[in-house]
Amino acid sequence: MSQTPHQPQRTCVGCRLSRNRSDLLRFVLSPQQQLLVDYRQKLPGRGVYTCVDPNCVVRAVERKQFHRALKVEKLDLDKAALVTRIAAEILQKIENLLGMARKSAQVVSGGEMVLNGLKTGGTYALVVMSQDISEGVAGKILRAAQKNNVDIFQALSKERMGKILGKGERSVAALVPGQLANAIRHEIQSYKRMSREN
C-alpha cells in the first residue's frame, strides 16, 4: 500500500492554521528591508507564510505579524498594495503556464477555431478570453462553453495574449486537458481569491 509523501507544514501568520507549504504564499525580506512576495518559493532567507487569501494577508499586516516573524521593527506595508502585488505574481504564473502550453502544443487560439471546436464537441479543459474581446464574439464563446461545461477565464488583453501565444493579437484560446490545464486552473482559482474586493 503506497503512502502519500509527507509534505512540509507551515503556519499562516494571518489565521494561524497549519497547511502544506506548497499551498501557502511565502514572503521574504529583501536586503533593502522590503517585503517580497516569493510566489515560486525559491528566494533565500527566512520565509513567512500566509494562506492564499486576502483576508489572511490583511490580518497579518494589521497585526504586524510580518514584523514579528521577520524580526524587523520597521516594515512599510500597504495592505491593498500587497494583495495587488500577490495577484500580479499569480497572473504572471498563469501567463508563464500559457506560454508552456503553447510550446507543448496544448493550446489552440483564435475565436473561430475555438468556437468551431466547442460546437463540434472538441475536448477543452479551459477557455481563456481577453478582456477587450468584442461583445459579439464573447457571447458566442460563452454560450458554447457553457453548453459544454467549460470554464472561462478573462484577465489579459488581446495584445498580451498574442505575445504569450507567439501570434498577433488573440482574443480567445483554449487548453486541452492535461497537467498544464490543471495547473492553470489551480492558479486561476488563486488569482480569483486574491483579486476579489476586500
Whether the CB-CB separation of 173 and 108 falls below 8 Å is answered with yes
What are the grid coordinates assigned to 84, written together? Answer: 495587488
Q: What are the tens digits of pLDDT across the range 128-184?
A: 999 999 999 999 999 999 999 999 999 999 999 999 999 889 999 999 999 999 999
Provide the percentage of residues in the chain whose pLDDT is more than 70: 96
Residue 122 pLDDT: 74
> First-to-last CA distance in the chain?
45
| Count, residues in the chain | 198
Could you tell me which residues come within 8 angstroms of residue 183 by beta carbon, excluding any fewer than 6 positions away?
97
Domains of the chain, with CATH numbers? 9-77 (3.30.1230.10), 95-195 (3.30.1330.30)
* CA dist., res. 54 & res. 60, Å (int): 10
Measured in degrees and rounded to the nearest 5, phi and psi for residue 24 equal -115, 165
Helix axes 79-103, 54-62, angle to 10 degrees: 140
Burial class (CB in 10 A: 0-12, 13-18, 19+), 66: buried
Q: H or E segment at 25?
A: strand 24-29
* CA dist., res. 89 & res. 87, Å (int): 5
pTM: 0.89
Residue 1 pLDDT: 46
What are the grid coordinates assigned to 136, written together? Answer: 459579439
pLDDT band at 13 (very low <50, low <70, confident <90, very high): very high
Q: Count the neighbouring beta carbons within 10 Å of the beta carbon of residue 186.
A: 13
